[in-house]
Structure 1
Amino acid sequence: MHNAEIARRFHELADLLEIQDANEFRVRAYRNAASIVEGSSRPIESMVADGEDLTAIRGIGDDLAGKIEELVKTGNLPQLQELQGEVPEQLTELMRLDQLGPKRTRAIYDALGIGSLEELEKAAEEGRIRELSGFGPKTERKIADEVARLSEREDQRILLGEAEQVAGPLVRYLDELDEVSRIEVAGSYRRRRDTVGDLDILVACDDSGPVMERFTSHPEVAEVASQGKTRATVHLKSGLQVDLRVVKTASFGAALHYFTGSKAHNVAIRKMAVERKLKVNEYGVYRGRKRIAGETEEEVFEQVGLPWIPPELRENRGEIEAAQGDRLPDLVQEKDIRGDLHLHTSATDGRNDLREMAEEAKRLGYEYIAITDHSKRLAMAKGLDARRLRQQMEEIDELNDGLDGIRVLKGIEVDILEDGRLDLPDDVLDELDLTVCSVHSKFDLSRKKQTERVLRAMDNPRCNILGHPTGRLINRREAYRIDLEAIVEAAAERGCCLELNAQPSRLDLSGRYAGMLRDAGVPGVVSTDAHAVDHLNFMHLGVAQARRGWMEKKHLLNTRTLKQLQKMLAR
């Protein structure tokens, strides 16, 4: 049972308790447990298997530790099963909407008997929701709009970070076989798309029997949809589909290229092969009936006159032309990142203190970090006012005096208010090393008003970095309406940077928009938005989006030395 699944169960438990109007502290405890598990870079299942004390995880007490262990060992949570029997299951369907919290969901269900998204949409169209106490026409319209967007959303696509939790252990499990000589996860996972529909695992070996047997008998497999000598498809207990392909070593490179995709990229490569009177498929490159290449991807590309193209670029969006003209970018790598410029501590809604965050960053080899706790507008996160922020600055000075090998910069994630003002006075922001400015409220403003709001914030020379610029939460909340092209153009004029937030549920900016930054000459900043030491390990997900945007080391702010960084921050 992967961390994402454990977290889902605790989120559902909290939702059902809230529907029943249970004690808010119990509800909050389960939500915190879900957040902690979701953000852990270590597999909780492995910790349980190794007999580790889960109460050593900050925020997990004896009761929660016991429930997590029971869930991992048995696959069930008795309290959750009991609640699922007490609460109509239709309510869980309605709670997929951001506009409907547990209490509103219950109110709609009790008053109108609505038990599905289709019925909810119909009720909104008929104007029945606005008649309920606490709703009104505006809320009704938002509910209808969100139902429509939810129905258009890609089904069965999970976060890239969640897919990693499945793919990594599964690959290691199969790679334990002596018969396996090479193994890779292909598809959109290898291209590092922000969501993954299914997993495509490719194995090179001479004897496929043991591999097929081990794959289909994995304890997480719920159903074997199909199985042959060289391919099998299974559905895991989580619902994720995993496809396995077994090929000979001589064909592994060709198969890896074929199953990595994208489809548009593959079609373009096959067309180039035809022009050379060759045929490219998953088994190799052929001249007539003779296979002339295919053991490595490099061989496949060479036969059509191209250098190897990184998987992140294979979307047929100019990568082939760039390869032909020797203009492929030298893509940024995680090792190029010198520091993380968006971190939270226990002073607001983080789980670790200043020193713990700094020491973990030092262990990871960073040259610097910036502490950017929330500003006072986020009261739920215990946001800092001017007095508490200045107190934290003093604590950072003291920490730096006794800390070798890393520099802790003073920062804040300051809210952009509805009118574009920043949430703290200019005089206190002037004392900081950097400021991350973010939207955390009023997501429903019109495109014009939201754009003007952010532009006004960027007019303030203290705005160094625009945090998670589109505000999306993948599969949970759509990006707010904003003219990102105008924002990027303004950032270029004002010397402001835009963040590539590496939180698995954000990946904001995505690769598509990262490319927009690159083209406009606006520096990006890959940051983890870490709320715990474990979250520092999300950096690779943000780097992947930078790579999908064709970004090189020179295109990112936090690949610079500390001295270079400080110079660039001086707007």
Structure 2
Amino acid sequence: MPVVNADIASELDKVADLLEIEGANPFRVRAYRQAARLVGSLPRSVAEMVAAGDDLDALPGIGQDLAGKIALIATGKHLPLLDELEREVPPGITALLALPGLGPKRVHALHEALGIDSIDKLAAAAKSGQLHTVAGFGPGIEARLVRALAEGAGQAQRVKLATAEQVAEPLLRHLRGADGVLQVEIAGSYRRRRETVGDLDIVASAEPGKPVMDRFAGYEDVAEVTERGTTRSTIVLRNGLQVDLRVVAPESFGAALLYFTGSKAHNIALRQIAMARNLKLNEYGLFSGAKRLAGATEQDLYERLGLTMVPPELREDQGEIDASRQKRLPHLVTLDDIRGDLHMHTTASDGHDSILAMARAAQALGRAYIAITDHSKHVAVTHGLDAARLARQIDEIDRLNAGLKDFTVLKAIEVDILEDGSLDLPDRILRRLDLVVGAVHSAFDLPRGQQTARLLKAMDNPLLNILAHPTGRLINARPGYAVDIEAVMRGARERGCHLELNAQPDRLDLNDTSCRLAKELGLKVAISTDAHATTQLGHMRFGIDQARRGWLEPGDVLNAASLADLRRMLRRDVPAV
């Protein structure tokens, strides 16, 4: 059975979690974390690399020992180190990591102080008020944990879009190779590009009597076939993801794709429009009595209902029906609109590749400019830059730009916003930069008003241009910190600042709702990869997905502008228009 990169990254992250819970050397933990992040972002299958005999230790930051472990996982074998760690760590303890605010260090502290090794024991300790006796656990985190447990935290989670993509796309290619298959598409929340996916819905059309279901059920990554029929089958993949396949006649393919793409609310709105015209809309087509009026394509269905076709990302019944009827649908931003990337890291801090390597990789993707935004010094684990090291990097970039053709590297920094709202580096060095990106990496637990004031104060500094990952959330791992995001957006607009949509699949921060609010407020958004390696520059597409769900058009996106226009919009004394 194939082992996808997400599987390997998950195993490496699990090793890092267990090592950290045991209190292992932080540098060893970090090596596994970085390896997981690198593997998860590689565009090529690691299993294919191993099969081809490629040297994995040629990957940045991967030594010979770690390369051997990755190869072992990629070939479907158990990692002895992981087996050993799982024997040493109580089996219920890793489930605690799914709870908000509980990283490996806090889980280790709970286990050491109170012997907590399961969600049930945590719930009992929280209920009895024992948690605040553990260092680092105040009333705030205790209350959040109690609330999270009451809301079902720790139960099965939806799969991140990027993880689902790694298993969905090979399955889609497998089905397209089936004898007699005419069309196959993934529908559901995956097609709407939601940031997480509960399961996969696949719609296909095929010639009569062809063995499509046999090919589906026989896919090598199938763990279980739970339903088998001539028009519908359900499988569960090895990673636990459920997949439903529906096979329809070609004349119904568009109707089935529309129906199973959803959302449910969007479909109900369309059916109501059909009913008002004395028509019937279902997964087989649009009918007047027994006569099929449309169904082969989604385009025909929308047109028959008096609408322009709604892009899948907008199908949430949040105003898209009226916009379609009035021909006011936005011309959504696409990957081709992106001219540059304004957030990435190099070997100067916690990245894997040099400035030149990042520049060449970005140029190969069609970008005209990038900003190098290594970390500032506040978070020690990132090996961030102080003023002296940043000054040397500024000179390095100037020398590099002198030799580049039709491409520009912008001098920048991801500077930490400290708890009091000040910036981690002095203004005298920040003034030498083309761009300053500010970010919160500490004191996530501040009250909402204080956290909001912190961000607004940071933006009071006229040298700050973009607020990165504005809520600090990590999907399925950490909720965003308490903040009045609308107040932050209004404050940014008033000050001539911009907000980032961080395209890292673990973040996708801003969310789609906040993107739409930014558009309504006239606040431009920078869609940035936050890449820590050349392989992560391709994450831009996930940011584009999120931006489209937020109704953003090219004019709403800071880095869809030319370099000259970007420089103008970065000037704090010139409002962005």
TM-score normalized by structure 2? 0.95
SS in 2 for 1:374: coil
1:436 corresponds to: 437
2:543 corresponds to: 542
Q: Conserved in 1, the CA contact under 8 Å of 2:421 and 2:455?
A: yes
Matches within 5 A, 1:382-393: 382-393=383-394
Which one of the candidate residues 75, 78, 81 is aligned to 1:76?
78
Of residues 152-161 and 48-57 in structure 1, the stretch that sits farther from structure 2 once superposed is: 152-161
Q: Conserved in 2, the CA contact under 8 Å of 1:130 and 1:139?
A: no
Superposed CA deviations along residues 141-198 of structure 1, whole A, max 9, x for unmatched, are: 2663474377258843111111111111111111112311111111011111111111
CA 443–22 in structure 1, closer or farther in 2 if over 3 Å, else same = closer
Of residues 109-118 and 119-128 in structure 1, the stretch that sits farther from structure 2 once superposed is: 109-118
2:331 corresponds to: 330
Matches within 5 A, 1:10-29: 10-29=12-31
2:349 corresponds to: 348
What amino acid sits opposite 1:274 in the alignment? M
Q: Conserved in 2, the CA contact under 8 Å of 1:179 and 1:205?
A: yes
What amino acid sits opposite 2:96 in the alignment? L
Shift of 1:445: 0.5
CA 415–302 in structure 1, closer or farther in 2 if over 3 Å, else same = same
Q: Conserved in 2, the CA contact under 8 Å of 1:270 and 1:280?
A: yes
Matches within 5 A, 1:65-464: 65-97=67-99, 99-102=101-104, 104-109=106-111, 112-132=114-134, 134-135=135-136, 137-138=138-139, 141=142, 144-145=145-146, 147-148=148-149, 151-152=152-153, 155-207=156-208, 209-464=210-465
Q: Runs of 5+ in structure 2 lacking a partner?
A: 573-577
Paired-residue identity, %: 53
SS in 1 for 2:437: strand
SS in 2 for 1:342: coil
SS in 2 for 1:362: helix
Shift of 1:60: 1.5
Shift of 1:512: 1.0
Superposed CA deviations along residues 522-548 of structure 1, whole A, max 9, x for unmatched, are: 111100001100110000110111111
CA 358–137 in structure 1, closer or farther in 2 if over 3 Å, else same = closer
What amino acid sits opposite 1:157 in the alignment? R
What amino acid sits opposite 2:116 in the alignment? I
CA 111–431 in structure 1, closer or farther in 2 if over 3 Å, else same = closer
Shift of 1:225: 1.0
Q: CA separation in 1, counterparts of 2:197 and 2:482?
A: 24
- 1:529 pairs with 2:530: yes
CA 538–146 in structure 1, closer or farther in 2 if over 3 Å, else same = farther
Shift of 1:48: 2.0
Q: CA separation in 1, counterparts of 2:105 and 2:411?
A: 40
Shift of 1:75: 3.9
Shift of 1:428: 1.2
Q: CA separation in 1, counterparts of 2:17 and 2:50?
A: 25
What amino acid sits opposite 2:303 in the alignment? E
Which one of the candidate residues 7, 10, 21 is aligned to 1:8?
10
SS in 1 for 2:131: coil
Superposed CA deviations along residues 448-501 of structure 1, whole A, max 9, x for unmatched, are: 000000011111111111111111000000011111111111122111111111
Superposed CA deviations along residues 252-306 of structure 1, whole A, max 9, x for unmatched, are: 1001100100000000000100111111111111110111210000111111111
Shift of 1:22: 4.0
Shift of 1:376: 1.3
Q: CA separation in 1, counterparts of 2:78 and 2:31?
A: 19
What amino acid sits opposite 2:95 in the alignment? E
Q: CA separation in 1, counterparts of 2:511 and 2:126?
A: 33
Q: CA separation in 2, counterparts of 1:561 and 1:48?
A: 41
Of residues 14-23 and 157-166 in structure 1, the stretch that sits farther from structure 2 once superposed is: 14-23
Of residues 513-522 and 104-113 in structure 1, the stretch that sits farther from structure 2 once superposed is: 104-113
Q: Conserved in 1, the CA contact under 8 Å of 2:99 and 2:145?
A: no
2:63 corresponds to: 61
Q: Conserved in 2, the CA contact under 8 Å of 1:125 and 1:144?
A: no
What amino acid sits opposite 1:386 in the alignment? A
Shift of 1:53: 1.8
Q: CA separation in 2, counterparts of 1:465 and 1:208?
A: 57
Q: CA separation in 1, counterparts of 2:498 and 2:109?
A: 44
What amino acid sits opposite 1:91 in the alignment? I
What amino acid sits opposite 1:369 in the alignment? I
What amino acid sits opposite 1:248 in the alignment? A
Q: CA separation in 1, counterparts of 2:204 and 2:471?
A: 38
Shift of 1:354: 0.5
CA 519–20 in structure 1, closer or farther in 2 if over 3 Å, else same = closer
Q: Conserved in 1, the CA contact under 8 Å of 2:459 and 2:495?
A: yes
Q: Conserved in 2, the CA contact under 8 Å of 1:185 and 1:202?
A: yes
CA 492–472 in structure 1, closer or farther in 2 if over 3 Å, else same = same
TM-score normalized by structure 1? 0.96
Q: CA separation in 1, counterparts of 2:317 and 2:102?
A: 40
Which one of the candidate residues 34, 44, 47 is aligned to 1:45?
47
Shift of 1:397: 0.4
Of residues 91-100 and 429-438 in structure 1, the stretch that sits farther from structure 2 once superposed is: 91-100
Q: CA separation in 2, counterparts of 1:52 and 1:75?
A: 18
Superposed CA deviations along residues 209-254 of structure 1, whole A, max 9, x for unmatched, are: 4221111111211111111001111111111111111111111100
What amino acid sits opposite 1:268 in the alignment? A
Q: CA separation in 2, counterparts of 1:106 and 1:384?
A: 30
Superposed CA deviations along residues 24-80 of structure 1, whole A, max 9, x for unmatched, are: 444333223222212223222222233322112111122222222221213422221
Q: Conserved in 2, the CA contact under 8 Å of 1:361 and 1:369?
A: yes
Of residues 123-132 and 404-413 in structure 1, the stretch that sits farther from structure 2 once superposed is: 123-132
1:34 corresponds to: 36
